Structure 1
Amino acid sequence: MAVRYGIILITATIILVYGLLKPEHNWDMVAYVAAAFHKDGYRGGDLTRETYGEIKKEASTKRFLPLITGEYRETVFKDPSSLEQQLPFYSIRVAYIQLIRLLKDIGLSYTKSTYVISAVFASLSVLVLGLIILETAVPIAMLPIIVAVTGYTEVARISTPDAMAGFFSLVGIYSLIRRGKLVFFIAVILPLIRTDFILLSALLMTFTYFHGNRLFSLFSLVSAVVIYVLVTQLNGNYGYLTLFNFTFIGSFTPYPADIVISHKLSDYLIPYAKLLESLIAHPHSVVYVLALYLLWLNHAKVEDKLEFYCLCGLPFLFITMHMLLFPSDHYRFFVFSVSLILVWSLDLVTRLARKSATLSSAIRSKT
């Protein structure tokens, strides 16, 4: 048992160190740092000066230049009103931004806090994933491989709330597997981390509702919806259509508040075609195809229904619903879910292999 926990701790530590030493300094960092300074009361030119001034201190020239290069990024850098117009897309990540501000109070800059949070929560996610694997037949030695191929190294480096959302999602799934009550709290707070994870809140509470916890499930789901509405309204979120048009239709506009919503059906279909093309070439697709193939071959042999829903059914539904609503090729959204699906696939293969070996042994003993 000590060896098992040792593998989990070593893998989690490697992810933590990697994230801290190799931050990506992606552009989202600009928006989240600006959102934090905006909460501090900075506006206009002061907001731009504080945001980019702090980032420039933390990032090398090689890292900083890409953040202000290109028509969109250059305009956001030069025009304070453009920077402020980006914030409603990011200020809705309430828990992430508040944690950034909290770390500033204990000595970290906003810039460094953005990726320190990612590294820490990616590492914690690996710990929880390891505990989930211990509930299955999958050898714990597979943990480093699962972590590497599903993208934990990516979410550990980038300045986004994805690692944080992944951690709490995994905790929710682990609570379901253990038949605990923590899942209800997780469902409530997920929209504070990423508003789109209201989808997972709904899936988790639907599952618990049909498994006997109806009152808790309804209360938690209603609470999550209320939090979702409050977060979007209080932070001036532009709404779904503006986000869709900004992200997928035409090039990024530096002034999203002025977006004219498209009424062409083709504009809304093309992003799905691009997503399909991207998905086919992405490593995650191998995991999806493997799981579906195994399920098709062995659906009658799936004995542990709870494990199936927790490790495969709910994650698959989350990915599908998310892609249908928001056809983005940012696969970092799905790191936690694809890792669970891979664990389920390996668990099924391991169990079938053990049964086959037992059956072969029994036949040989009779002969």
Structure 2
Amino acid sequence: MNGLVSIVDRMALAGGERAIRVWSSQAARFGLAALALFTLAVAVVAYLFPITNWDIFAYLASAYETPGMNAEALHRHAYETVRNSVTDGRFTVLTEDREYRIRQYADPQAFATMLGFYKVKWLYTASIGWLSELTEPLNAIRLISALSAAAIGGLSIVWLWRERALHLAPLAIAALMLANFGEIARLGTPDAFSAAFFLTGILAFLRKSEIAAGVLLFLAFLARPDHAAYIGVLLAVSLLLRSFSWGVLAAFAGAVIAYVPITQAAGHPGWWIHMWFTHIEFVESLEGFDPPFSLLVYGRIVVQALARSFIENQWPAVLVVGCAGWWLLSRNRVELARREVIILVTTLLGIAAKFAVFPLYETRFHFAYLVAFSLVLIAALARLPKRCATV
């Protein structure tokens, strides 16, 4: 019996060693396959099983609106489109779950006052409108979500391939999972859509492709204007660390110039009203709503958002783990390119700046920055064995 156990142990050990040798020789291919399959799975799930939340009504109406269209027509289009595409139970939840939803379903004028929050994401709503010429509006949203997920996963593959880090693709998959990639891809919101432009722009920045960086970062801003905060910090850190990027400068200048016209054209109610609505009270209509600014209320919002960030969401954990990895890399004397350092510093300062200007606790609002932060560190980790071999 002991001899049999010994034979089994030796076979298991030999099998384990053989598996390790196979992985070592084919790690990049396995990593590529794993990341590609993960991306494909997320994109397919995003298309087939989308998450339908209340915001879908507002995005549909914003994409459908043309000059002179009245509130009743926008309201009818949005609600009938969703009613024809979801179950009766889900539609009931979206229209009767709370007083806010009941009022929005019953009152087209109240519903129309909310659209400024959504029309300001101009490129996203415009893309829904453009695709709606070819397919059903909700299918257009699903297509945008699926294609955005595919673009983010594909960009991750290209990023790791250029850095010869595809063997570390499992770490990229873990980072994407921790950053809620799957859930964000299923949402009918501009988070994944804008992240695709943003991350491609960041890779262009790292490769010093200034035209591409400027164009892509500006497109990310047009999809989600709050990216302007990160782009501004990126410009400042680039100047401080002596790696000026005129592409980033162009993107930030474009964002500054376009911000007021876009918000005014969208009918955005303003920073403080948006803050109040998001964190204090979902008022049923914005008509005549103008709460006075209060430093005490602002402080309360920041504290509550911080608490919910650390208790309910993963993004602080991703940053903590990332900072620990950055420290370990520095301890092992792994050299980072200057623009890689700029991205790491900008991510920490940019999230802090964005949080101070408009505290948002959900991981999806920081998703693009977390992915950029993680991919820079994973690419640097791929250089660790070479460095250690020379020490």
How far off its partner does 1:203 sit?
3.4
CA distance in 2: counterparts of 1:48 and 1:213, whole angstroms: 44
Work out which of the residue numbers 213, 220, 228 in structure 1 matches 2:259.
228
Work out which of the residue numbers 63, 68, 71 in structure 1 matches 2:99.
71
Matched, 1:326 2:358: yes
Alignment of 1:79-158 (within 5 A): 79-106=107-134, 108-136=135-163, 137=165, 139-158=168-187
Change (3 A) 1:133 1:317: farther
How far off its partner does 1:128 sit?
0.7
CA distance in 2: counterparts of 1:202 and 1:241, whole angstroms: 21
Change (3 A) 1:153 1:79: same
Could you say what secondary structure the match of 1:268 adopts?
helix
2:214 alignment counterpart: 184
Between Structure 1 and Structure 2, how many residues are aligned?
A: 356
CA distance in 1: counterparts of 2:326 and 2:169, whole angstroms: 22
2:346 alignment counterpart: 314
Summarize deviations over 1:182-226 as a string: whole Å, max 9, x none. Answer: 101123333211111112332344455542444x55444322211
Work out which of the residue numbers 287, 292, 295 in structure 2 matches 1:257.
287
Matched, 1:57 2:80: no
Could you say what secondary structure the match of 2:367 adopts?
helix
Q: Percent identity?
A: 22
Change (3 A) 1:56 1:78: same
CA distance in 1: counterparts of 2:40 and 2:329, whole angstroms: 36
CA distance in 1: counterparts of 2:248 and 2:320, whole angstroms: 32
Q: Which amino acid aligns with 2:215?
A: F
Work out which of the residue numbers 314, 318, 321 in structure 2 matches 1:283.
314
Q: Which amino acid aligns with 2:292?
A: S
CA distance in 2: counterparts of 1:285 and 1:259, whole angstroms: 34
CA distance in 1: counterparts of 2:294 and 2:233, whole angstroms: 32
Whether the 8 Å contact between 1:302 and 1:308 is mirrored in structure 2 is no
Matched, 1:267 2:294: no
Change (3 A) 1:205 1:146: same
Return the TM-score normalized by structure 2. Answer: 0.83
How far off its partner does 1:325 sit?
1.2
Change (3 A) 1:247 1:142: same
Change (3 A) 1:41 1:24: farther
CA distance in 2: counterparts of 1:183 and 1:112, whole angstroms: 30
* Farther-moved stretch of structure 1 (165-174 vs 184-193): 184-193
1:28 alignment counterpart: 55
CA distance in 2: counterparts of 1:347 and 1:46, whole angstroms: 51
Matched, 1:339 2:371: yes
2:197 alignment counterpart: 168
Could you say what secondary structure the match of 2:119 adopts?
coil
Alignment of 1:207-226 (within 5 A): 210-214=242-246, 217-226=248-257
Matched, 1:47 2:77: no
How far off its partner does 1:150 sit?
1.4
CA distance in 1: counterparts of 2:279 and 2:206, whole angstroms: 37
* Farther-moved stretch of structure 1 (12-21 vs 336-345): 336-345
Change (3 A) 1:197 1:139: same
CA distance in 2: counterparts of 1:26 and 1:16, whole angstroms: 19
RMSD: 2.5
How far off its partner does 1:346 sit?
4.2
Could you say what secondary structure the match of 2:174 adopts?
helix
Whether the 8 Å contact between 2:117 and 2:269 is mirrored in structure 1 is yes
How far off its partner does 1:295 sit?
4.0
Return the TM-score normalized by structure 1. Answer: 0.88
Q: Which amino acid aligns with 2:359?
A: P
Change (3 A) 1:212 1:326: closer
Summarize deviations over 1:295-316 as a string: whole Å, max 9, x none. Answer: 4565573521335335522222
Change (3 A) 1:218 1:276: closer
Could you say what secondary structure the match of 1:238 adopts?
coil
CA distance in 1: counterparts of 2:33 and 2:324, whole angstroms: 33
Whether the 8 Å contact between 2:329 and 2:381 is mirrored in structure 1 is no
How far off its partner does 1:3 sit?
4.9
Q: Which amino acid aligns with 2:223?
A: I
Alignment of 1:193-204 (within 5 A): 193-204=223-234
How far off its partner does 1:349 sit?
5.2
Q: Which amino acid aligns with 1:254?
A: E
Any gaps of 5 or more consecutive residues in structure 2? Answer: 1-27
How far off its partner does 1:353 sit?
6.0
